[in-house]
Copies of this chain bind each other. A is one copy, B any other.
């Protein structure tokens, strides 16, 4: 998988969220971080798109419930008939990472924002549909400025998984992702003591994962019996 992160932000240099996310993305292979700046070299932008299997639109939502103008300008100009009429993006994935000024609870009927994030992002879902792309569940980042250090550590990992993991919502895939990361870390570790500690952590994770897999299998059997 190759991921292209299209970053649209009117004040990118001042955004602590974007520099936080950039650090997480820089940590990854096969992730291209692409900040939008007009004017666009259209064919170059199209080549970038064609080289990616997962395309992420990343922007703040507090600019009136859709991406800042620069992303729309890029869509209007780069996603022209040359790119779109021959279904060049068909089968690729489209994901949305969006920073939100309100808490998650505000986005429901009766709450201050009245509508869900999924409803607000609908035009991007329709775009994906029109292109024959696979629309991914969005990753909204609520009130980054108020997040604790623990919440940010979690976000860092969630974001990396969103960029690189096939099934980023599946728990067992997330665990496998950690196991892979730990294996890489162990291979690189030079301190033998640290290495032993990491290996212990790894075997713990693997044991848990096996136990979880067993439990899932048992639940599957029980459900089948119930359906008899």
**A114 to B127 Cα, complex, angstroms:** 11
**A123 to B63 Cα, complex, angstroms:** 11
**Interface segment, A25-33, A67-75, A155-163, A188-196?**
A67-75
Residue of B nearest to A131 (CB): B64
Chain A positions 123 through 143: 1 when the CB is less than 8 Å from some CB of chain B, otherwise 0: 101110110000000000000
Q: Categorize the interface residue count of chain A.
A: 20 to 34
Contact of A64 among B64, B65, B69, B75 (CB under 8 A): B75
Residue of B nearest to A74 (CB): B69
Residues from chain B with a CB closer than 8 A to the CB of A73 are: 69, 73
Instruction: Answer yes or no: A224 CB below 8 A from chain B CBs.
Output: no
Instruction: Answer yes or no: A149 CB below 8 A from chain B CBs.
Output: no
Q: Quote the shortest CB–CB distance from A152 to chain B (angstroms).
A: 27
**A82 to B67 Cα, complex, angstroms:** 21
- Given known A76-B63, A79-B64, contact A115–B129 (CB-CB < 8 A): yes
**Which of A10, A64, A115 has most chain B Cβ within 10 Å?**
A64
Residue contact B66 to A123, C-beta cutoff 8 Å: yes
Residue contact B125 to A122, C-beta cutoff 8 Å: no
**A146 to B75 Cα, complex, angstroms:** 27
Instruction: Answer yes or no: A175 CB below 8 A from chain B CBs.
Output: no
Residues from chain B with a CB closer than 8 A to the CB of A75 are: 63-64, 69
A10-B76, A63-B75 known; 8 other A-B pairs, CB under 8 Å?
A64-B76, A64-B127, A65-B126, A68-B72, A69-B69, A69-B76, A73-B73, A113-B126
Q: Can you identify 26 A-B contacts, CB atoms within 8 angstroms?
A: A10-B76, A63-B72, A64-B72, A64-B75, A64-B76, A64-B79, A64-B127, A65-B123, A65-B126, A65-B130, A66-B123, A67-B72, A68-B72, A69-B69, A69-B70, A69-B72, A69-B75, A113-B130, A114-B126, A114-B129, A115-B125, A115-B126, A119-B119, A120-B122, A122-B123, A123-B123
Residues of A within 8 A of B (CB): 10, 63-70, 72-73, 75-76, 79, 113-115, 119-120, 122-123, 125-127, 129-130
